Chain A
């Protein structure tokens, strides 16, 4: 009787683990549309970037200007 109880218990645990695992796996299927690269490489903080003067990359939140600059980042 005791051995039967032990075997039944082990079987129940195994079945339960199998059911739980299958539920978990089916809830986490890979989305075929998921991007393969981190979003940061596809659309960074700068958004759509344009080239100013052939070499300065500028996002939409930064505007170029014609005014004489009052200062520059080259000041030391």
Chain B
């Protein structure tokens, strides 16, 4: 889902933004064999030529890995498939094969990005997920204008003074925050969930996270950073997340697990 807001934009600007989002979505989805991401995943160690935008997203994924000390790891696709997330959840998950889930490899060891090309080690595969959404929100704001808010499925970026000059009013964890040139994201295991399984993989186990946190909302300097910090904090759990958020976020909320 994509929601775009702008002040003082030329007619048609937001429509162009939506078209760009649809085009990028088609290139970054793992659910189509024709997508650019699927070509990279099928590379089996061979170098694959990339568009400039795809190269940017992959480099963003590598930065996310460093910022999160390895907890945000896009080499997660084999685990996603092992838990049954082999297709869009709108058609329901497939049967899980949890015995196939393994701790994730170090991302720099399986994903290599060069100038205009990339390759993935045989046996590994990547899913860009929230990394792509945060990156796209940031790029949209840069493309559309000086006073814009772009929300890509909950990963958002606000630039400029907003509609009334005091920032963009955004709902974060039940309160309204006025964002100016900042990003925000919520990482949650409550939404894309089926039975005991959900989509947020802990790279240390290769299985859905059981950290003691179910939801984390974060405001940061960019949409991409907010996505990474929120996910990292959720995976760290309630003991370590407060210090990590204090060091990396501008605002945050931690939702503890509702499970026993």
Residues of A within 8 A of B (CB): 40-41, 44-46, 49, 52-53, 55-59, 61-76
Binary A-proximity of B165-208 (CB < 8 A = 1, otherwise 0): 01111111111111100101110000110000000000000000
Which residue of chain B has the shortest Cβ distance to A47 in the bound complex?
B250
Question: A55, A66, A70, A76 — which one has the most chain B CB atoms within 10 A of its CB?
Answer: A70
CA distance A69 to B192 in the complex (A): 24
B246 A70 Cβ-Cβ under 8 A:
no
Which residue of chain A has the shortest Cβ distance to B175 in the bound complex?
A53
How many residues in B have their beta carbons less than 8 Å from beta carbons of A? 44
Query: Would you call B248 an interface residue if the criterion is a C-beta within 8 Å of the partner chain's C-beta atoms?
Result: yes
Question: B153, B178, B243, B248 — which one has the most chain A CB atoms within 10 A of its CB?
Answer: B178
A63 B167 Cβ-Cβ under 8 A:
yes
Identify 10 new A-B residue pairs, CB closer than 8 A, beyond the known A55-B173, A57-B246, A66-B176.
A40-B243, A41-B247, A57-B242, A61-B250, A64-B175, A69-B170, A70-B149, A71-B149, A72-B171, A73-B186
CA distance A66 to B175 in the complex (A): 9
Question: A64, A69, A72 — which one has the most chain B CB atoms within 10 A of its CB?
Answer: A72
Select one of B151, B182, B243 contacting A62, CB under 8 A.
B182
Q: Which residues of A contact B245 (CB under 8 A)?
A: 44, 46, 57
